[in-house]
Structure 1
Amino acid sequence: MLSALSVLDLFIVAMAAFILGISKSGVKGISIIIVALMVLVFEAKASTGILLPMLIVGDIFAVIYYNRHAQWKYLIRLMPFMMAGVIVGTLVGDDMPEYVFRKSMAVVIFISVLVMFWWDQRKSKKVPQHISFAGIMGLTAGFTTMVGNLAGSFANIFFLAMRLPKDAFIGTTAWLFLIINLFKVPFHVFSWGTISWATLQVSLLFIPAIFLGLFVGIRILKRVNDQLFRKFILFMTGLGAILIFFT
């Protein structure tokens, strides 16, 4: 598989790995750009299997670095629904036309971002506590992370709604995605066949670019306050939705 990649392909994947590192350092909302870059080089479904081990490398670092900030009560509320969504995504992923999925998810993500902008402007900041909110966000995030590694937007919306401060947001999502991404591995190996030794060779090649992105991302976050961090996540999530719609 490596021999089939051109110099341009290698550069694009390296850029995706670098941005992945920045994302896993805590700069949320940019993961959709990674998905779009990977799809430029690989087929959509194949790209999910190549990207998954790279995500796990970033997740491990994020958990080590931000572990003390995790808010487990929110994580436990969302995780069972995400796992159920992964299973549903595995079952229906083969039959869903790629262009239908991408355009519909882009619309849903973009509408969700608009809702969050509107919610931020409200005088009342009451946090959605009903289990149905966690259920809808969790099932959608689990389904989209299996089919296209697109869970970040929906998880972001859930944790933003919980009004978590920056470090708690990063620490909680770090644990969430490490657990969910490890949960996805057997489905990619045994059900879809999108992870093999050949794909792992591609994934492992770009680990240095991930670590470079992690280093840069940590330096960026030290200069960002909670309010700016929240606005940046919403902006990048909306931008990512537009990119998905037109790719």
Structure 2
Amino acid sequence: MITDPLFYAAAIPAVTLLGLAKGGFSGLGMLSLPLMALVASPVQAAAIMLPILIVQDVVSVWAYRNTWDRRNVAILVAGAATGILTGYLLAAQVSDAFIKLAVGVISIAFALRRLVLERGGREPKPTPADLPRGIFWGWATGFTSMIAHAGGPPFQIYVMPQRLPRDVFVGTGAVVFALINWIKVPPYLALGQITLANMATAAALFPVAIASTWAGVLLVRRVSGTHFYTAVYALLVLVGAKLVHDGAAALL
């Protein structure tokens, strides 16, 4: 177990941001791993975060247990499982920097286009869930989650145009990523990333993880549905910019 106070000085804010994201403020969680990576190796940071994510999933799924879209979950998780397997098999060959750069560019283009359409009063009609696009974006969600811990943007690109009610959108994401995180456990074990020391460190952060997730749930329910989507699109632009920066910096 890590006992260095400097580690927890970075880990507590990181877990808090992750909890707010799990509660509904999608995008904030992307800042967590870079914060943790300041005081631990990226591989160890990811391994510590996985049990924390699973605990936070319990809170978010319980909070939104009555508001999630079963069709979307079934389609996305089926695609995500194949994406996680692909990521596991190609973990040593695929550059996470390139993946971050590509996902970042796509996220920025998608979110800016939607924001421009909204501001111009030309918001397209909601698009229903469908199998071909859902399987593809589910695969992308699982693959980027396994390789670069960036599964949020592909999920949002597929689900946000459906204009689901706020709580249904958040609840669907909560269930999808709860299942994805459990599917990622065997690959993480196979790669030797889950150890007793990392689990003990994660357990020390569980109280912060639970409290911050509940805070996210309570705060997001104070935001109207219209403003919620605008805020998520704006966060997606910021997340995309962060991914582009990280990916380009690593490649250069």
Q: Give the TM-score normalised by structure 2.
A: 0.88
The aligned amino acid for 2:169 is F
Structure 2 counterpart SS, 1:85 = helix
Once the two structures are TM-superposed, the CA of residue 123 in structure 1 deviates from its matched residue by 5.0
1:99 to 97, 100, 112: 97
1:43 and 1:115 map into 2 onto residues whose CA distance is 36
| Residue-pair matches, total | 244
> Is the contact between residue 48 and residue 148 of structure 1 (CA under 8 Å) also seen in structure 2?
no
> Is the contact between residue 80 and residue 180 of structure 2 (CA under 8 Å) also seen in structure 1?
yes
Correspondences of 1:166-181 after superposition (within 5 Å):
166-181=166-181
Once the two structures are TM-superposed, the CA of residue 43 in structure 1 deviates from its matched residue by 2.7
Once the two structures are TM-superposed, the CA of residue 111 in structure 1 deviates from its matched residue by 2.4
Give CA deviations for 1:172-214 in whole Å, capped at 9, x if unaligned: 1111111111011011001x11111111112111111112212
> Is the contact between residue 72 and residue 129 of structure 2 (CA under 8 Å) also seen in structure 1?
no
Residue 215 (structure 2) aligns with = 216
Once the two structures are TM-superposed, the CA of residue 145 in structure 1 deviates from its matched residue by 0.8
> Is the contact between residue 18 and residue 211 of structure 1 (CA under 8 Å) also seen in structure 2?
no
Correspondences of 1:1-247 after superposition (within 5 Å):
2-3=2-3, 5=4, 7-118=5-116, 120=118, 122-127=122-127, 129-190=129-190, 192-247=191-246
> Is the contact between residue 29 and residue 234 of structure 1 (CA under 8 Å) also seen in structure 2?
no
Structure 1 counterpart SS, 2:25 = coil
1:155 and 1:119 map into 2 onto residues whose CA distance is 20
Give CA deviations for 1:28-68 in whole Å, capped at 9, x if unaligned: 22121123222333333332222111111111111111101
- Cα distance change on mapping 1:17 and 1:64 into 2, 3 Å: same
2:61 and 2:242 map into 1 onto residues whose CA distance is 29
Unaligned runs of 5+ in 1: none
- Cα distance change on mapping 1:35 and 1:12 into 2, 3 Å: same
> Is the contact between residue 137 and residue 158 of structure 1 (CA under 8 Å) also seen in structure 2?
yes
2:89 and 2:187 map into 1 onto residues whose CA distance is 10
> Is the contact between residue 83 and residue 139 of structure 2 (CA under 8 Å) also seen in structure 1?
yes
Question: Which is further off, 44-53 or 199-208?
Answer: 44-53
Structure 2 counterpart SS, 1:40 = coil
Instruction: Supply the RMSD in Å over aligned alpha carbons.
Output: 2.0
1:171 and 1:203 map into 2 onto residues whose CA distance is 24
Residue 250 (structure 2) aligns with = none
More helix by share: 1
The ranges of structure 1 where at least 4 consecutive aligned residues each deviate by more than 6 angstroms after the TM superposition are: none
Give CA deviations for 1:78-118 in whole Å, capped at 9, x if unaligned: 21111110100111122223433333332232223234335
Question: Which is further off, 179-188 or 109-118?
Answer: 109-118
- Cα distance change on mapping 1:10 and 1:101 into 2, 3 Å: same
> Is the contact between residue 49 and residue 188 of structure 1 (CA under 8 Å) also seen in structure 2?
yes
Q: Give the TM-score normalised by structure 1.
A: 0.90
Once the two structures are TM-superposed, the CA of residue 228 in structure 1 deviates from its matched residue by 0.8
Once the two structures are TM-superposed, the CA of residue 160 in structure 1 deviates from its matched residue by 0.8
The aligned amino acid for 1:200 is M
